[in-house]
Amino acid sequence: MNAIIHHIPDELLIAYANGTLGQAYSLVVAAHVSMCDESRARLGAHQAVGGALLENAGTETVSDRARAAVFDRLDMPVKEAPPIRASGIFPEPVMEALGGLPPRWKPLGLGVRQMILNHDAEGSARLLYIPGGQAVPDHGHNGLELTLVLQGAFRDETGRFGVGDVEVADGDLEHEPIAEEGEACICLAATDAALRFRSLVPRLLQPIFRI
Amino acid sequence: KPELSDQTAWMLAVRDKRCKASFGQLFDYFGPRLKGVLCKGGLSHALAEDIVQDVMLTIWRKAAQFDPERAQVSAWVYQIARNRQIDVLRKVNRPLPEALKAPEESTPDASQMVALDQESRALRQALEQLKPSQREVVEQAYLGDLTHAEIQAKTGLPLGTIKSRIRLGLEKLRHELKELSGK
Ligand SMILES: [Zn+2]
Ligand SMILES: [Zn+2]
């Protein structure tokens, strides 16, 4: 496997650390950090800044009642759901989003498949399966698109993306990612608004496919 | 000789000895700071105390995951606090990275723990030296309240507008740190 060269930019790591990043993007960040020691270390550095700010922060008195309530609960047994573990090419946070089950793919045509993992007002995260040599149709973005490669590789106008790499495409980029020949390229992609595909799925059908 | 910070020592006693007195010390140190940040973010005292309780209980229960060679106590508490805040305020579980597997046999490296503590102290000093306007930007980026962020998220990515200001703040921070280490 090639080394990861495309990482999560710092401003996204900070937003993730702070918790202001939407659910779909947070999933991509958590998945990438699971695969990438460098980004894990950088996230750790940002959390250190957050911790330092917390230590310097102004205080508010916590009531004795609240303090006592916590101490009352220290010895209470906790029942925890069994953890969902990483499986195959899918890191833990992705398996978590899959509910511990293998992906249930929906065909998009030309061998391309997808599975929506989550979809809310802020954006959507999905898994994409692109057969080797196949292009993801030319599309523009309304907002930020993060694409993390889990298997195989793709190329577009901006470079090559292998396993663990993240492409950060903003609203201005119109690109046509092409999966490399060989094994299918499987990606985790997050967008904050519907992608505008120029072909493959007619615009009218997009709400049905939710892409 | 350099020593571990009180916070690290308390946290290790909680982790390794389940020491309630040390947990009390941690509560009295971090509880009011957490509540301060939450109230500054616009939460009511009642809701802020609910979250403080939740965070402190999580610290007690997940103490085994604390690794003083990788994170300062404050960084670890910060991370738990932001996670719990999202879980409580947004009613969703935020995706978390896979935990690193601890090596089978590992002797704790005291010098690494002390070095991290010192790093943390230097970072706090550097933050204190920022101009108020710079510090505000950095604070907004790391401690900014989530309800505000949610409103922004509906109208577009908040990062777009504050991105460059965060970078400026961080750059300033790096310079401050460099100066500090050069002394
Ligand atoms: Zn990375
Ligand atoms: Zn795209």
Structure confidence by residue, pLDDT tens digits, A180-209:
999 999 999 998 755 544 444 444 444 444
Which of the given ranges, A137-146, B96-105, B114-123, has the highest pLDDT on average?
Answer: B114-123
**From B39, which residue of chain A is nearest by alpha-carbon distance?**
A60
Q: Considering the domain boundaries, does residue A83 fall inside one?
A: no
Q: Please say if the pLDDT value at position B150 is more than 50.
A: no
Q: Considering the domain boundaries, does residue A84 fall inside one?
A: no
Contact state of A51 with B78 under an 8 Å Cβ cutoff: yes
Burial of A101 (0-12, 13-18, 19+ CB in 10 A): exposed
Contact state of A73 with B57 under an 8 Å Cβ cutoff: yes
Q: Please say if the pLDDT value at position B161 is more than 60.
A: no
Higher pLDDT, A71 or A118: A71
Domain B1-92: give its CATH architecture: Orthogonal Bundle (1.10)
Specify the CATH number for the domain of residue A133: 2.60.120.10
Residues in B closer than 8 angstroms to A18, CB to CB, are 82, 141-144, 149
Q: Considering the domain boundaries, does residue A86 fall inside one?
A: no
How many domains does chain A fold into? 1
CATH of domain B129-183: 1.10.10
Give the closest of A22, A27, A92 to B153, CB-based: A22
Which single residue is written with the structure tokens 């059908």? A205
Average of pLDDT values for A94-105?
Answer: 95
Six token digits for residue A77: 């047994």
* Whole-number pLDDT of residue B174: 58
CA of A4 to the centre of ligand 2 (A): 20
Q: Considering the domain boundaries, does residue A82 fall inside one?
A: no
Q: Where are the domains of chain B?
A: 1-92, 129-183
Higher pLDDT, A141 or A131: A131
Identify whether the C-beta of residue B145 lies closer than 8 Å to the C-beta of residue B152: no
Q: Which of residues 4-23 of B touch A (CB under 8 A)?
A: 20, 23
Q: Please say if the pLDDT value at position A140 is more than 90.
A: no
CA of A32 to the centre of ligand 1 (A): 6
* Whole-number pLDDT of residue B146: 54
Q: List the single range of A8-12, A98-102, A131-135, B79-83 with lowest mean pLDDT.
A: A8-12
Q: Considering the domain boundaries, does residue A182 fall inside one?
A: yes
Domain span holding position A127: 1-77+91-211
Higher pLDDT, B24 or B173: B24
User: Which conformational region is residue A14 in: left (phi greater than 0), alpha (psi within -120 to 50 degrees), or beta?
Assistant: alpha
Higher pLDDT, B140 or A53: A53
Six token digits for residue A60: 């508010």
State the pLDDT confidence band at B126, using cuts at 50, 70 and 90: confident
